[in-house]
Amino acid sequence: MMLLPAAMARMTPQVGELPHVVEPTIVWVAVAYFVVVTAIGAWATRQTRTAGDFFAAGKGIGLVALTLSVMSATLSGFAFIGGPGLVYSIGLGAMFIVLPAALTNAMGAWVLAKRLRLMAEVRRTITLPDVIGARYRSPLAQGLAGVSILVAVIGYMATNILALGLVIDAVFGIGLTWGIWLGMGITMAYAVGGGIVAGIYTDVFQGSLMAVASVLVFLFTLKAGGGLGGISTTILEGDPGFLGPWGHLTPIAALSFFFVFGMGSLGQPHVVHKFFMLRDPLKLRWYPLLTTTALIVSMLLYFGVGVAVKSLELQGEMAPLVNPDDATPLFLLGYTPLILAALVFSGVAAAIMSTVNSFMNIGAAAMMHDVPVSLGRRVKNELLWGRICTVIISVAAALLAQHSGMLVALLGVFGWGLFASTLVPAVAIGMNWEGATRAGAVASISTGLAITLVFETLAFFGFYSFPVGVTVSGLSLVLSILVFFAVSHLTRDTAESTLDPDIRVVMKA
């Protein structure tokens, strides 16, 4: 059985070198892709006039844009490179990361979408910490949430920018340093100019590309492996545990994935932040159906490449991979037409860039808006400072990606779990339970922050690891939920006073 911490570490984006795929077709498709993204960014810059436009798209996006941007922000490059590599390594257990997708979008819609959109209407909130601050009348809770987001964002961004640099280097052969700065420069250019508006509309383009590429590659995986039945038969003969229900994980480890990626989805600010932006909230009706469909379609590559490469290896058609992240590039180059490989490589860059863009935006919001507000200060020109903070965060993340070595991998591990354990109780439960208190929110955010930072760091440096199957992210999520309820119960006399009447109306809606 594979130890879960090792598997969790692999969930961070690509950090090992990819095989170089410098081919004229791949290069030209990638160039065309970057030109389209730049053009969208230039258009979006002209649409961005206020901080509300920059951080919340002026509450003016439609359903399709919401759907595709949520899908793109959710997936990142992990779905195309790290994910298939993880399936190849640990088998079906890796599917537990994406398995809750059938539930999470509807769960997010019921628990958060309506109330966050109403908060944007009633309080003009533009960030998730804004909502926390308003819900609990607590600048401290808002500031803590902002700090949690900032820590996770910089880590996530550094690992994603490193992954982007590797992909660009693989496609253009320009070296990792140039790859990092070219990728970050293009993403930053449209993020600084067009803010989340640029992010949303590049996501529409990128998400469509990712979905189409995923379906086509899946068909080629079936062809290469002799259909799903052929793939299964081959794998069952050579490595029966691979297609066992938990793959090479323990049951608790696989279930932990399901729990953290299911419940934890309610605390991912780069995703739920987009609920503020929908022009017509009545369109939310079709959001879960469309987003779930798009996600399932886009996940076909994740599963297909992982099992097909394993099957091809067991048939002796492919050599065992030294680096599991090579599964997608090697499959594409060996078993699909070059133009499709080119589309997927652009799709990988697209997925990473859309995720980075979302993080740039929420990170800048935390830095420019949430942390100062928690200290009783307010930035005067939020649009200008939003742009400046986007540049600062982007350059810091790129420098970190370029120079910090192991630290990048450590920071990448924090991401999802830190968001989940710090934000799920205070936001997802707190926005639906009038008995939640300010002390409960502060205690749960602090618990999630402390447990995640301390135990992920101890595990990363090899000082202490939880037993097999117990993830830091899972344990910190469940403990922060319990602390939230326990402290809210102990301080229940204050619940009434931490809830403004207009927020109560939103919560009862």
Partner 1 sequence: MKRGVLLAVVGSALLIGVAYASAFLPGGTPEWAPWLFVAGMSVMMVSTMALGAAREGSIGRLWIPFGLVLVILMGGFGLVLALPPADPLDPALWLGLPPRAAIVLYGIGFLPFLLVPVAYAATFHEQTLGPGDLERIRDEALAARGEMPLSPPVGSPDRRGRGGERP
CA distance 476 to 470: 10
- In whole angstroms, give the CA distance from residue 355 to residue 12: 13
Nearer to partner 1, 38 or 114 (CB): 114
Name the segment binding partner 1 (CB under 8 A); options: 30-38, 186-194, 233-241, 330-338. 233-241
For residues 36 and 174, the answer to whether their CB atoms sit within 8 Å is no
Using alpha carbons, select from 507, 433, 360, 437 the residue that is nearest to residue 141: 437
Stretch that binds partner 1, among 28-36, 229-237, 391-399, 411-419 (CB under 8 A): 229-237
Stretch that binds partner 1, among 16-24, 170-178, 273-281, 451-459 (CB under 8 A): 273-281
Characterise 166 by phi-psi region: left (phi > 0), alpha (psi -120 to 50), beta (else).
alpha
Residue with Cβ nearer partner 1 (15 or 266): 266
Size of the site for partner 1 (CB under 8 A): 97
Taking the CA atoms of residue 284, residue 285, residue 288 and residue 290 in that order, the dihedral angle to the nearest 10 degrees is: -90
CB of residue 236 vs partner 1: minimum separation in angstroms? 5
| x/- letters, 57..76, toward partner 1 (CB under 8 A) | -xxx----------------
| Two structure tokens written together for 487 | 């402290």
Report the residue from 228, 321, 333, 399 that binds partner 1 according to the rule CB under 8 A: 228
- Please choose, out of 26-34, 161-169, 288-296, 447-455, the segment that lies near partner 1 by the rule CB under 8 A: 288-296
CB count, 10 Å around CB of 354?
32
| C-alpha–C-alpha distance, residues 40 and 2, integer Å | 43
Candidate list 27, 178, 189, 279; residue touching partner 1; CB under 8 A? 279
Residue 205 or 257: which CB sits closer to partner 1? 257
- Return the number of the residue (348 or 503) whose C-beta is nearest partner 1: 503
Q: Which of the residues 115 through 154 are near partner 1 (CB under 8 A)?
A: 118, 121-126
Instruction: Check residue 247 and give left, alpha or beta (phi > 0: left; psi -120 to 50: alpha).
Output: left
β-strand partners of 278: 61
Distance (Å, whole) CA 157 – CA 468: 28
Confirm or reject binding of residue 110 to partner 1 (CB under 8 A). yes
- The reply on whether position 266 binds partner 1 by CB under 8 A is yes
Among residues 106, 212, 215, 453, the one that binds partner 1 under rule CB under 8 A:
106
- Amino acid identity for residue 31 in this structure: V
Q: Quick check: 420 binds partner 1 (CB under 8 A)?
A: no
Residue 443 CB neighbours (<10 A): 22
Positions 451 through 480 that interact with partner 1 (CB under 8 A): 466-470, 474-475, 478-479
Does 48 contact partner 1 by CB under 8 A?
Answer: no
Stretch of 31-39, 62-70, 253-261, 336-344 contacting partner 1, by CB under 8 A: 253-261
**Sign of the torsion formed by the C-alpha atoms of 390, 396, 402 and 405:** negative
CB of 148 to partner 1, least distance (A): 20
Among 282, 322, 380, 462, binds partner 1 (CB under 8 A): 282
Region near partner 1 per CB under 8 A, out of 25-33, 61-69, 400-408, 426-434: 426-434
286 near partner 1 (CB under 8 A): yes
102 binds partner 1 (CB under 8 A): yes
For residue 278, what are its two tokens? 């929908």
Site residues for partner 1, window 486-505 (CB under 8 A)? 500-505
The DSSP letter of residue 310 is H
Contact set for partner 1, span 378-417 (CB under 8 A) = 382-383
**Closer CB to partner 1, 13 or 269, in the complex:** 269
Secondary structure class of 61 (helix, strand, coil): strand
| Interatomic CA distance for residues 349 and 76, integer angstroms | 9
Task: By CB under 8 A, name the one of 53, 169, 203, 325 that touches partner 1.
Answer: 53
Alpha-carbon span 29 to 88, nearest angstrom: 28
Kindly tell me which residue out of 292, 354, 394, 402 binds partner 1, with binding defined by CB under 8 A. Answer: 292
What's the angle, vertex CA 277, arms to CA 414 and CA 214, rounded to 5?
Answer: 60
CB of 118 to partner 1, least distance (A): 6
Q: Which two tokens stand for residue 333?
A: 């180059």
SS3 per residue for 229-292: HHHHHHHHHHCHHHHCCCCCCCHHHHHHHHHHHHHHHHHCHHHHHHHHHECCHHHHHHHHHHHH
CB nearer to partner 1: give 165 or 225.
225
**Selected binder of partner 1 within 38, 177, 208, 233 (CB under 8 A):** 233
- What is the C-alpha separation between 427 and 33, in angstroms, rounded? 37
Give SS3 for 421: helix
Q: Which is nearer to partner 1, 105 or 214 (CB)?
A: 105
107 binds partner 1 (CB under 8 A): yes
Q: Residue 172 or 287: which CB sits closer to partner 1?
A: 287
With CA atoms as reference, report the closest residue to 285 among 121, 63, 101.
63
Q: Which stretch binds partner 1 (CB under 8 A): 36-44, 205-213, 280-288, 338-346?
A: 280-288
CB atoms within 10 A of CB 58: 19
For position 43 contacting partner 1 by CB under 8 A, the verdict is no
* Site for partner 1, residues 301 to 360, rule: CB under 8 A: 303
